Amino acid sequence: MTNRQHHFSAFTILILTFLLILGTSDQILSADPGIPDTLSIDSISTYVGGSRVVPVRFYNDQPLTAIEMTLHENSPDIQIDSFSFTGGRVESATFRLSKVDTVTGILRVTVLPTVSLIPAGSGLLGKIYLSYPPTISGQFVTFDTIRFVDNFLVRTTSFSATGAVEYKPKVKKGYLDINTTPESLDSVWITHVESEQGTETAVDVMLFNQRNIANVAFALKFGSDDLQLDSVSFDGARTATAFPKTVQPRGADNSVLIYLEFDETTPLLPGSGLAARLHLSISPSATPGPVLIDSLTYAPTWSTFITLSADDGGGRFTPMFSGGSVEVRVSTGIDDETDQTLPGSYSLSQNYPNPFNPTTTIEFALPEASQVQIEVFNLLGESVRELVNKQFGAGVHHIEFDSRNNASQSLASGMYFYRIIAGSFSSSKRMILLK
């Protein structure tokens, strides 16, 4: 952060204009009546080297005319790169602006839905993208709201309701627990994350190797039916050049095998970092507490192993393994899965955004608990991805599609169809992937 440079002037002028229109620039924050509205930052445990994505969620029990968020982290080694509204509740708001002050490291996010209000509800506000150098030391980084003065105006995290009522929501801090990479022995480890019942989360599979690798296998087991594996991605991973990449989930025992091969002329070089990212759904009725992710023998002879390149002897061995977990928290109203008012009928909404690249959100409503299957098809009518096939409770639910097929390979641009089957209800809609 030593190289941060101040360039807030244009941003400040634009925000001031909107604040003057709303008449809230000088207002003293008041208490929120009833159940406190909440802004919540996810907490993640990871390892040195690479980058992370930290979701931010919010809950409001009354319609909002504006959201202002000011966040800061307490480490000089962490760089907040950007903030994305994609897939969040305010993605379609008329005015959305985010800015990182490279001098102070403060992230400011402003949402002003000038056409329609932000309805009462809960879900994702957006995602913080951050990075840090491979040489960073292990440390505990806190994300919290911050109050500061900018051009004689006090800035802080606030919600604005109708009638020019501005108030401060309850803020739940988040943290990034960065651990040091093992210094010896080739190692595989799983990160730890925290998330709430009924939400989606991502857990990283990390790899440290001292010699060139020809192929590697991760045989993983989830310690509860409360976790469902939706997909595995390799974007930004050290293993992105592997071919083929094989992902074989097995629902019978909540396990998955990830097998990656590297060309003999371009093996995976020594290093440490992200090897694969597991995208998981947490059951709305999940038991609070940790759900372990560990290694196992897969169906029945595969295990977690590393095979060295021919130049390094070609030996196959079992690396040191350290399991991870998803710490399931009780839902406090901040969750992407269910709406507070039960719908009166089954429905499937148009995905948003559409067209999209690379992710889009599919929303569906259930008047009662149902077994739900959602699939994506190409123009030939061939199923390319099963997004979900599990029991859901009554309510409004959201599923994210990351434009990958069942083998976790990126799909080509074009038109696709998605279909829901829930009980006797069936519906289909089309969507467009543009790259």
The pLDDT score that the predictor gives to residue 51 is 58
Going from the C-alpha of 409 to that of each of 93, 182, 414, the distances in angstroms are 32, 30, 15
Q: What is the pLDDT of residue 341?
A: 60
Omega of the bond leading into 319 within 30 degrees of 0 (cis): no
Identify the pLDDT of residue 182: 52
Residue pair 390/396 in contact (Cβ under 8 Å)? The answer is: no
More confident residue, 390 or 330: 390
Whether residue 325 has pLDDT greater than 80 = yes
pLDDT digits (tens, 9 = 90+) for 269-310: 998 888 999 999 999 888 888 888 998 877 667 889 999 998
All residues at 6 or more sequence positions from 237 whose CB lies less than 8 Å from its CB, including other chains: 273, 274, 275, 276, 277
CA nearest neighbour of 307 among 268, 256, 271, 265: 268
What pLDDT is recorded for position 16?
Answer: 45
Nearest Cα neighbor of 321 from 206, 210, 213 is 206
Q: Which residues pair with 320 in a beta bridge?
A: 187
The highest-confidence range among 254-268, 280-294, 324-338, 345-359, by mean pLDDT, is 254-268
Own/partner pairs, 417-420, CB within 8 angstroms, 24+ separation? 417/376, 417/377, 417/378, 418/351, 418/362, 418/374, 418/375, 418/376, 418/377, 418/387, 419/374, 419/375, 419/377, 420/348, 420/364, 420/372, 420/373, 420/374
Domain 347-433 has CATH 2.60.40.10: yes
Q: What percent of the chain is modeled with pLDDT above 90? A: 31
| Domains 9-177 and 347-433 alike in fold | yes
> How would residue 233 be classed by pLDDT, with cut points 50, 70 and 90?
very high
Residues 348-355, mean pLDDT to the nearest whole number:
83
What are the start-end ranges of the H helices in 194-353? none
Q: What is the DSSP letter of 212?
A: -
418 vs 430 pLDDT, higher one:
418
Which one of 2.60.40.680, 2.40.30.10, 3.40.50.1820, 3.40.50.11740 gives the CATH number of domain 9-177?
A: 2.60.40.680
Can you give the pTM of this predicted structure? 0.47
CATH architecture of 182-329: Sandwich (2.60)
Q: What are the structural domain ranges in the chain?
A: 9-177, 182-329, 347-433
Q: Is the pLDDT of residue 26 over 60?
A: no
